[in-house]
């Protein structure tokens, strides 16, 4: 299997070349183009319970797609919905990664994806949601970000503070806690930074250079709010005997 991120930056795309018999797992709807001899199957990875948990709680799709090279080698192009870069994270040697909801793009190799619940305080305030994706196994995890991806290596004994809307993924050995970004609660909120995550080494954190929620807020100032769901006539008419 070969893989490469092409057009790195805001329009990044993952190109995976599969040998006959190989397969990969990808986020539903991520396929851009595919060789005709590759097949796509929708799957509820881990069963309906795990899929519902992943979709409803982890911010991912209900279905994954399994792309298989059953009939011969081929190529598949994958891209996330939002503008941003793709980071390839290598899993081996008992390592594991946590991904914020929505950051999963593809898993190349023997990789298990699960949803884990964070501590209540972390889940409520970290910005990643109460549930995060946990990846284990051997292979490559492709994570998508909003904007560019920056890798922060935290040495043993060191710490690093990240604004909670900018986290993409972090290594499983890293410890983190929620803190106020500024010295006092008042200045923490008046500075516009609010809450942040303090990561303790050793480990690695990948951050995105843009905050999707902040971008959404900025966009809302220029775009009118959409209309709500209207009442349907068919429901009104469904009142027979």
Partner 1 sequence: MSLANNCRLYKKSSAEPVAVIAKLENPGLFISPSGGGNDSTQWLYRDCSFDLSGYNQSRLKVSHNLSGDVLIIDDPDLIKQISCGQSELPGMEALTHKLKLRPWLELKSWLTVMSIIIGICLGGYLLVEATVNASIDHLPIAVDKQLGESAFKHFLKKYKFINDDKQLNRIRGIAEKLSAASSMPYKFDVYLAKSKEVNAFALPGGKIIVFSGLIKDAKSDDEIAGVLGHEIGHLKKRHSLRDLLHSVSLLQFCKFVFGDNHEDVQELMNLMLKIEGLKYNRDQESEADEIGINLAKKAGYDPNGLIHFFQRIQDEESNSPPAFILSHPLPKNRVVALKKKLADLEANSN
| Interface ranges with partner 1 (CB under 8 A) | 52, 55-56, 59, 61-63, 92-95, 98, 116-120, 130, 134, 153-157, 171-175, 200-204, 228-229, 231, 233, 235-241
Residue number, 110 or 173, with CB nearest to partner 1: 173
User: CA 47, CA 50: separation in Å to the nearest integer?
Assistant: 6
Number of Cβ within a 10 Å radius of residue 129 = 17
Report, in Å, the least distance between residue 229 CB and partner 1. 5
Paired tokens of 28: 């539903």
Q: How far is the CB of 73 from partner 1 (least distance, A)?
A: 31
Output 55 or 179, the one with its CB closest to partner 1: 55
- Given the complex with partner 1, which of 73 and 212 has the nearer CB atom? 212
Residue with tokens 């991806």: 149
Angle at 29 between CA 226 and CA 225, to 5 degrees: 10
Tell me how far, at minimum, the Cβ of 237 lies from partner 1, in Å: 6
Using only C-alpha atoms, what is the Rg of the chain? 20
Q: Considering beta carbons, is residue 179 or 182 the nearer one to partner 1?
A: 179
Q: Which two tokens stand for residue 216?
A: 């959404």
Find the shortest distance in angstroms from Cβ 189 to partner 1.
23
Contacts of 238 (CB under 8 A, 6+ apart): none
Asked whether 57 and 47 are in contact (CB, 8 A), the reply is no
Taking the complex as a whole, the smallest distance from the CB of residue 81 to partner 1 amounts, in Å, to 10
Contacts of 215 (CB under 8 A, 6+ apart): 146
With respect to partner 1, which residue has the nearer C-beta, 93 or 223? 93
* C-alpha 234, offset from chain centre: 39
Alpha-carbon torsion 126, 129, 134, 135, what sign? negative
Q: Which is nearer to partner 1, 16 or 135 (CB)?
A: 135
Q: Minimum distance from CB of 139 to partner 1 (Å)?
A: 16
């Amino acid at each position: 299997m070969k893989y490469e991120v092409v057009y790195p930056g805001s329009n990044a795309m993952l190109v995976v070349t599969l040998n006959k018999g190989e397969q990969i797992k990808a986020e539903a709807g991520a396929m851009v183009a595919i060789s005709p001899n590759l097949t796509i199957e929708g799957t509820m990875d881990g069963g309906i319970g795990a899929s519902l948990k992943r979709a409803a709680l982890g911010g991912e799709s209900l279905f994954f797609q399994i792309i298989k090279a059953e009939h011969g080698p081929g190529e598949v192009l994958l891209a996330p919905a939002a503008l941003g870069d793709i980071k390839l994270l290598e899993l081996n040697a008992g390592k594991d990664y946590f991904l914020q909801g929505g950051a999963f793009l593809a898993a190349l190799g023997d990789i298990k994806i699960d949803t884990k619940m964070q501590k209540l305080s972390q889940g409520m305030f970290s910005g990643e949601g109460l549930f995060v994706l946990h990846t284990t196994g051997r292979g490559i995890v492709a994570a998508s970000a909003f904007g560019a991806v920056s890798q922060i290596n935290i040495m043993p004994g060191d710490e690093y503070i990240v604004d909670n809307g900018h986290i993409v993924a972090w290594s499983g050995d890293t410890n983190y806690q929620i803190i106020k970004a500024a010295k006092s609660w008042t200045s923490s909120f008046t500075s516009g930074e609010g809450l942040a995550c303090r990561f303790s080494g050793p480990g690695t954190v990948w951050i995105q250079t843009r905050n999707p929620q902040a971008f959404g807020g900025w966009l809302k100032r220029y775009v009118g709010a959409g209309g709500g769901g209207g009442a349907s006539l068919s429901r009104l008419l469904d009142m027979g005997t």
